[in-house]
Structure 1
Amino acid sequence: MSYLYEDRATAAEALMQRAADDRNDPVWTLAPLLEGPVVGNSFEWEREWRVPQDLPFSPAQVQFLTGPEEEHAAMRAYFVERAQEPDFMDYSNRPLIDLNWDNDRIREALLFP
């Protein structure tokens, strides 16, 4: 997948428009692999998740958790309740982040949980 920004997006659109009536044009081989940036779904958003092999880590290495802000209280209560179990990692003291927050709010949550 390639994300096209500004001039590259304009160039790709022009190539596809020129080939609109020619389904055998080579641009259609590339078209499924091209995407313009969409708010909340861009290269910057997805690249952290593209790991071509296992990514081993222990539960103790988890430094923060993510979820919708409106579910943070329920998540925290769940972690507190489950922390009493011997095989459950206590995440109740980990920062909770809503991925829809702006960078300043995320930074604040990570620095001052």
Structure 2
Amino acid sequence: MGWEPEEVTEHEYDEQGRLVRSVTTREPEWDDEERGWMLALAAHRASLCPHCGRPLSVCADPESEGQWTVPPPRRCFATTALRAMAPEYKDSPQPEALLLHAERR
């Protein structure tokens, strides 16, 4: 899921056909476009609140103070089932290495 920079090798020969020099060049992995994308991603991430993940311009706007509500929490029933099952494996060898997963019936 990526790409390999292109590599080109040029050979130089003397009058007798002997190899005198070989130069390999490789295209840069980070060109201007890739750097631009990564800088844009860094700027986007820096604009987000580290607590709620919303844009700081929204959640830290003084004018939005008092305009937020917190609904009741929702339960993840898959995690509930996993946590309920985990104690059954606590005495198995290296229980922390077990990869428990939940499947919906």
Q: Place the TM-score, normalised by the shorter chain, in its bin.
A: under 0.3
Q: 1 or 2, which has the higher helix percentage?
A: 1
TM-score scaled by structure 2? Answer: 0.21
Higher RCO (C-alpha 8 Å, min separation 6): 1
Instruction: Name the larger-Rg structure.
Output: 2
TM-score scaled by structure 1? Answer: 0.20
